[in-house]
Amino acid sequence: MNYNSTCDSHRTASAAEAIATGISREGGLFVPERFPQLTQERLLQLSKLSYIERAKDILGEYLTDFTEEELYRCVSGAYAGKFDDESVTNLARLSDNAYLLELWHGPTCAFKDMALQLLPHLLTTSAKKVVDGKEIVILVATSGDTGKAALEGFKDVPGTRMLVFYPEQGVSPMQKLQMTTQEGGNVAVCGIRGNFDDAQTAVKRIFTDQALAERLERSGRMFSSANSINWGRLAPQIVYYISAYCDLLADEEIALGDPINICVPTGNFGNILAAYYAKRMGLPVARLICASNENNVLTEFIETGVYNRNRPFRTTISPSMDILISSNLERLLYALADNDDAQVRALMDSLNAEGSYTLPAPMLERLRDEFAAGCCDDDATRAAIRATFDTYSYLCDPHTAVAVKVYQDYVARTGDSTKTVIASTANPFKFSHSVLEALGEPVEGLAEFELVERLAGRTGCEIPAGLASLKGKAPRFSDVCDREGILDYVVEQLGL
């Protein structure tokens, strides 16, 4: 299996090359040249396996240059014993037709762990194949959860070095504490005065700076990415949608071949793109429902075909979705254009020049065949947290609550009774302030761990160990820079 670039469909790379480099050198994103097909028989077989075995099987279809033994080592290194649920993910029933796919049982309590526990294994195995001996310098732009999950995945991994940039004013106190207290000799964390888009754009520019890349190369190092532009981040996410279908089958909630819907709280479009890829592999999926917060650029896009980032950036209580430039959308465009790189380039050029683009009619039609969309503001998010807890005794975090609300609106609008898997992307204790406030409790003047303990008291839910252990821990990192200063910071940290 080879990979092409969204900017140049003639460029081919092996899986190991795609993962080791992260982004194609002309700035495109790597995409698989075709989608391996899952038959119903295969789904039935997979439903009898453990998560680790399913992951090894499915990833084997994409990472064809990895040996069986390498794959097994990567997957079991990532998932065995690292998650507080022995089946790695958990599928919780919400109502008659809706299930929450809990993806936050890993060490940092967000769904990013599903990919970022595995990525270091994939990356070091890939690097050995294609660039043996080089140190890999990973730059990460984060809206909150990626940073911590990447730090935790890569800390003290030999042959790697990691620099993380997060919006200083744009993450929750717990997210900030998780990152600034990070241990490990090969990592550094820096706040930026700007938002996630600023951080992501600056980091992407550094990746494609040829002069800098050459200087780094001369010192025996190379850049790579742990953001969802890296194929090694996306591939592991395809697994859990297939696995959720297998769980529904195994539990006799559905019959083989029954279509399901998948609803995903979306920011950078990585998680929902993985669900789309699962569908392209033959997983019976009827509709993909894209849920956004007030930064509803994707809702408008799916409804009208116009992508327009020229709008105010809103800071919300679901910060990991505060994004106006969803970088993985480029991969969807490539698929909707039938791998026509010229069409993708034209749209991306328009996005860079004008901040907007309009899909040609045939692409819009295909988009609307596959996707539905919706959005809600912070008040509706808080109301959804409260209603979900009161009605179903289920406590969800603000990101998951956006998806629950958008799903309920979708059902009210369409009457669609298809069984639906809703991605549950973070543990609610990561956002104790917002969740407690949503439940109608006083929050004024309370310190982070007072909020955490009150939330546990009010709901009877257990505080995850990964968060409890941060109490009283002193921050290690206090650097902050302007967005223009990111390059200088990188140069200084790397001694270039």
Ligand X SMILES: *Cc1c(COP(=O)(O)O)cnc(C)c1O
What string of H, E and C letters represents the secondary structure of 148-204?
Answer: HHHHHHHCCCCCEEEEEEEECCCCCHHHHHHHHCCCCCCEEEEEEECCHHHHHHHHH
One of 426, 436, 439, 490 touching ligand X (CB under 6 A): 426
The number of angstroms, rounded, from the C-alpha of 242 to the middle of its chain's C-alpha atoms is 16
112 in contact with ligand X (CB under 6 A): yes
Determine if 420 is a binding residue for ligand X (CB under 6 A). no
395 touches ligand X by CB under 6 A: no
Point out which span in 26-34, 81-89, 268-276, 475-483 binds ligand X (CB under 6 A): 268-276
Among residues 170 and 186, whose Cβ is nearest to ligand X?
Answer: 170
Answer for which of 4, 268, 292, 381 binds ligand X (CB under 6 A) is 268
Considering only 266, 293, 296, 434, the residue that binds ligand X (CB under 6 A) is 266
Q: What whole-number distance in Å separates Cα of residue 168 and Cα of residue 8?
A: 36
Nearer to ligand X, 216 or 426 (CB): 426
Burial class (CB in 10 A: 0-12, 13-18, 19+), 338: exposed
Question: Binding to ligand X by residue 270, rule CB under 6 A?
Answer: yes
- Interface with ligand X in residues 434-463 (CB under 6 A): none
| Using rule CB under 6 A, residue 269 touches ligand X | yes
Please check whether residue 370 is in contact with residue 364, taking contact to mean a CB–CB distance below 8 angstroms: no
Which of 267, 428, 464, 466 is in the footprint of ligand X by CB under 6 A? 267
What does the alpha-carbon distance between residue 93 and residue 90 come to, in Å, rounded to a whole number? 10
Task: Quote the least distance from Cβ 495 to ligand X, whole Å.
Answer: 32
Who's near 357: CB < 8 A, 6+ residues apart?
A: 306, 307, 347, 348, 350, 351
Helices 361-370, 329-336: axis angle to 10 degrees equals 110
For ligand X, how many residues bind (rule: CB under 6 A)? 16
Specify the DSSP class assigned to residue 320: G
Single out the residue of 224, 261, 271, 434 in contact with ligand X (rule: CB under 6 A): 271
Q: Is 9 in the site for ligand X (CB under 6 A)?
A: no
**Residue closer to ligand X, measured from CB, 167 or 265:** 265
Is residue 233 within the footprint of ligand X (CB under 6 A)?
Answer: no
Contact 164, 189 (CB under 8 A): yes
Residue whose CB is less far from ligand X, 381 or 420: 381
Residue with smaller CB distance to ligand X, 126 or 268: 268
Q: Give the residue, chosen from 382, 399, 405, 433, that forms a contact with ligand X under the rule CB under 6 A.
A: 399
Nearer to ligand X, 109 or 348 (CB): 109
Q: Which CB, 21 or 108, lies closer to ligand X?
A: 108
Q: Which is the catalytic residue, given 56, 112, 148, 279?
A: 112
Task: Decide: is 145 part of the binding site for ligand X (CB under 6 A).
Answer: yes
Q: How far is CA 127 from CA 19, 52, 121, 136, 184, in A?
A: 8, 23, 10, 8, 21
Shortest separation between residue 166's beta carbon and ligand X, angstroms: 12
Residue 265 lies near ligand X (rule: CB under 6 A): yes
320 near ligand X (CB under 6 A): yes
Quick check: 228 binds ligand X (CB under 6 A)? Answer: yes
Q: How far apart are CA 277 and CA 337, in angstroms?
A: 15
Segment near ligand X (CB under 6 A); pick from 87-95, 215-223, 242-250, 264-272: 264-272
Dihedrals φ, ψ of 458, to 5°?
A: -70, -35
Residue 147 binding ligand X, by CB under 6 A: no
473 assigned to active site: no
Residue 281 as a binder of ligand X (CB under 6 A): the answer is: no
Whole-number Å distance between alpha carbons of 485 and 482:
5
Q: Is 297 left (phi over 0), alpha (psi -120 to 50) or beta?
A: alpha
Of 496, 490, 495, the C-alpha closest to 188 is 490
264: nearest Cα among 393, 114, 117: 114
Q: Are 149 and 427 in contact (CB under 8 A)?
A: no
Q: How far are the Cα atoms of 450, 453, 465 from residue 462, in angstroms, in the given order?
A: 14, 10, 9
Contact residues for ligand X, defined by CB under 6 A? 110, 112, 145, 228, 265-271, 320-321, 399, 425-426
Which residues are known to be catalytic?
A: 112
